[in-house]
Structure 1
């Protein structure tokens, strides 16, 4: 699909510095309009204050006149009417009894099929009479079918219908059909009578919020490659409703690739959009494919909608976003007030390549690594003096080299999951410069990725993500992923703070701490610690919770549910079930008082 780039005529807040421009793009609210900047605007309406809301049906209002603006349509299977099938929707809503669905010959099996253009929850169908003075010209028997628009309910691009209601003896002048609220995108009305009929206007009634609505923006041209800051989506989401927000970014203005036939069967050649002839039959024109060469795929839906890091690659000029609004119930809906993108231009570099070495580590221990980076910086781009490495746990930097020379005056900051190293006196401003950051980090899961960014401490530019690749000759694997050197342990570092508990209240060894490092858990897993006596009888379930990989600690004060346990030897069993299997470790502890 051709997607014209949205020009840079948007509201932008610009903060000028000698080297940076921090900008803000806002759609909705007091920003750009939703509909005029949309590529897809399905089952939506704009609220009075500029928000984006799914359609909500009035049980007493006929929906059918709205389906044309939603891209809906109606067709009839009667061949004599085929020439005007594309006009049938107009005849069903024009308010005249002299037009509508009219079948004069072979009425048994005649069908009227309607595409609502969006999914609605319908509960009533009302077909007005087409002849005012002859009750014999009404629909004689019918079957009513519906399809909810779910992609699973299609075969070969055609909807699969489910029977909702039928009456083979119907003979009233008008058809007034009520049925339980049903999700409907397509419906089919089939005549089962043997006499011709003339029906007039068709009215369709729904209830509640449309189950699914979608907005896709036009392609947004940011003017030049940008680094993205936080994305903020403001709105209101009722209990069962969902707002699924996704993004994609690209290097070029169109996210499609065009290929035309060469004349040789099965052979295609890529051409520019201007050279692709859409007037030809598709079998002669060629094909249009998604441009996954110059564009990223749609990101997974964002888990957070405020202060969210963009999930699509940065350092790109073009941006597109979409919302999928799911109601979840008849009354709940998601309303989007506005979406705000923060970004800076130009980007810090044309690109920054990174890789890590070594690419194997001992799980459960602190390992030494080197993070290699190589810059590609063209004229006019700012450069950088800070490296940010995303680590699984708090890490520490041990050294920095720039172009092979040790940097003595670097600064470092570390917290859980992030190591930042700055070297402002050795700022990277040229292509081909190399940076090596040595650091130590605990690794507990094989396949840990050390994602990275570069930043500029001398401006307000947003950080730029690195791309994995060949950054240094001494690093051979061109990756940021570290695998495990051992594969037979799920726990390590299992130690007690003391081998004895003396729960007498004197403040000395009144309780002990059990420290352990859980390995290879790619998500939270069930961990339990149970105290047993020497006969194997459970004395106290000390701990049962879901833990992540990494260091953990459990304490015991020598008590069970009834108070202090009798003096003696006890066993503590530590057990976890991870993706790599079930692990159990036992340790003995003495209770003395």
Structure 2
């Protein structure tokens, strides 16, 4: 069996056409080819993508069908029963009156455990309400037989309320959040009622949408490890599912227990929600059905938005650190509230085995097993908040064009309110990696050796999984605007796209109407280029040569563009080692050169230019162009274009240890601010190197007593900077001029002296 993981082949006609072709995503069918965060994103009827809001204070009965719930039974008028949970008070359900007393019933299944503030029954205003009725609620606890086996489809209703002589058209049962557990089932039993009485709504007023539900289809994960830093018993996902499935009747279990002794054993549960939500409440449900227990003692609750520390580890925010109380244990669940914050990961860290306790009690596993252990049994973990997800990411399957194609333009349309961002990225590659997966007859993955030892009837299929290969590019930077040129290497056979919906305001979110990528036949199957020299001094104008060569089968090209963050200035062109007359045009990021003739396949083209480099790792990009196909361009890959040039790269570096502030010069050693336009001010020029993002450059002027007489600041990036001081209102004398900047790797300060004379 061959499984192409995320592989989307395109139709052959689109491949054979030499003209421009478009990959467009603007319908439910096309977006289904993507790995979408299920439940956090919706496809609109018009084919766009919108984020789904995490709601607070919900009626959990209305969307029970979304969780495979709904009406469980209705004693009569079954066709009307769904109207009691449709959110419309104008419709409802009533028994038809044929039932004997106590037999009329409407029972609903919410589909998941719902932490609830109250349950409200609403009756039609145009008729009397039920006069005598019962409301029963269940956590989903299964009824068991005399030997403890659960009875299929039968649950225990431990919460029961009877209403007598009722005349109210709206009846509310309030829940005690410190006592009452979540519920999943609600049963209404009318006992005495008018023939026209109608139950229009059963409202289950829940805390809100539980962000834990559906985390696996959303791209998240659940991980439980016992014995952190020691034995590292990784609990299988199948044993963890009970923690995140929304059912109180199931729970997380370990399957095995590490050996106990005099050393502590720590454990943790980490849930990746699959998206970054705005949360303010986490509920931990230990055992909260018939028997109640919270089997954690010393524990911490931490959250993370997925941000990384400089050492590459996750940054965690601690929301609780302490010991569970006796009341927590009696209740069986604990609520932790905190200030609303973006959360992608929730981590529960606890002491599974207390070694000091074991020593104090004299050791012995039987004597200490209860007092010194905290098994951390969990039925459910719930997370609540509100607003649109802060960060939603999705990516396409691998797009297979069948042969190398030149991706040229990325376009999209969407709504981007203030405080939100729509990020589109790409990556490309030339190959895929195959991996074999061996399964037994039950679909369980086994090793190749174990599969070989199975008798034929116990063997399952061998799947071939395909994923991106080692020649794939990293994800590109985000495209700045629709219509930008494709940023990833091309031509390539395979590509992948990524979309991010981001917001800093939980009340608004961006949306995407459509996305498309244009691709054309390549000007050359391969085109390689390299720059020389590859190391220069910061800020010094330097002459460079850029060599370009295409494969022998190329139809040729007649123009080249060179672009860089250090804008180059064209000097001259050579073809096959001979100088040629070429027309150059300055562009936003460099220049474009039109050659006097077409460069043949395999011919070496050299462009000479000058530039001053301020960033280590400055990349000079070259693009092939063809006047016969205006608008088409093809990126040149870094490679060995000329055997006489070392390096095979298009990246230029700076010497190791190069200063951030270099080549500092003062316009004059003596400032004479007397208004004659000669040395009236001090102008400082400095080359700023290796700043990847804007940083504050601070100019301070001190007198010889150390007093600041002038200070100014502005944000700068790598490059040549000029800053001035007018020196007015200060006494004649000698002053110290100080420039300082906080670089990406280190801070740096330089000082010079200057005299002021009137």
C-alpha distance in structure 1 between counterparts of 2:648 and 2:510, whole Å? 43
Change (3 A) 1:334 1:472: same
Other-structure match for 1:233: 412
Other-structure match for 1:427: 598
Pick aligned residue for 1:164 from 284, 301, 310:
284
C-alpha distance in structure 2 between counterparts of 1:146 and 1:576, whole Å? 43
Other-structure match for 2:514: 338
Q: TM-score scaled to structure 1, two decimals? A: 0.69
Alignment RMSD: 4.8
Pick aligned residue for 2:646 from 459, 476, 498:
476
Other-structure match for 1:87: none
1:8-64 C-alpha deviation (Å, 9 max, x unpaired): 49999xxx9xxx734444322xx7854454454622323244321133467235434
Other-structure match for 1:83: none
C-alpha distance in structure 2 between counterparts of 1:185 and 1:483, whole Å? 38
1:280-305 C-alpha deviation (Å, 9 max, x unpaired): 967x72663523146545x2562634
Other-structure match for 1:103: 143
Change (3 A) 1:391 1:508: same
Alignment: residue pair count? 494
Change (3 A) 1:240 1:62: farther
Q: Measure how far apart 1:215 and its partner are.
A: 4.5
For structure 1, the 5+ residue unaligned runs are 70-89, 113-122, 135-144, 172-176, 187-203, 269-278
Aligned ranges 1:30-49 → 2 under 5 Å: 34-35=30-31, 37-38=33-34, 40=36, 42-43=38-39, 44-49=41-46
Pick aligned residue for 2:462 from 282, 285, 295:
285
Change (3 A) 1:66 1:359: same
Other-structure match for 2:24: 26
C-alpha distance in structure 2 between counterparts of 1:227 and 1:471, whole Å? 20
Change (3 A) 1:68 1:205: farther
Other-structure match for 1:529: 699
- 1:365 paired to 2:522: no
Other-structure match for 1:312: 488
User: Do the aligned partners of 1:42 and 1:215 also contact (CA within 8 Å) in 2?
Assistant: no
Change (3 A) 1:590 1:448: same
Other-structure match for 1:117: none
Change (3 A) 1:493 1:246: closer
- 1:502 paired to 2:678: no
SS of residue paired to 2:541: strand
Change (3 A) 1:506 1:34: same
C-alpha distance in structure 2 between counterparts of 1:205 and 1:591, whole Å? 65
For structure 2, the 5+ residue unaligned runs are 70-107, 113-135, 154-176, 192-209, 225-233, 244-268, 272-281, 293-332, 347-382, 439-445, 450-456
Aligned ranges 1:423-462 → 2 under 5 Å: 423=595, 425-430=596-601, 432-462=602-632
Other-structure match for 2:579: 406
Other-structure match for 1:248: 427
SS of residue paired to 2:630: coil
Change (3 A) 1:178 1:323: farther
Other-structure match for 1:154: 223
User: Do the aligned partners of 1:350 and 1:377 also contact (CA within 8 Å) in 2?
Assistant: no
1:217-270 C-alpha deviation (Å, 9 max, x unpaired): 454455653323332332224556554433333446xx5624377xxx9889xx
Change (3 A) 1:125 1:211: farther
SS of residue paired to 1:314: coil
Other-structure match for 2:8: 5
- 1:511 paired to 2:681: yes
Change (3 A) 1:427 1:10: closer
SS of residue paired to 2:550: strand
Q: Measure how far apart 1:552 and its partner are.
A: 0.5
Change (3 A) 1:280 1:439: farther
* Greater RCO, CA 8 A, separation 6+: 1
Other-structure match for 1:52: 49
C-alpha distance in structure 2 between counterparts of 1:402 and 1:236, whole Å? 48
User: Do the aligned partners of 1:257 and 1:291 also contact (CA within 8 Å) in 2?
Assistant: no
Q: TM-score scaled to structure 2, two decimals? A: 0.55
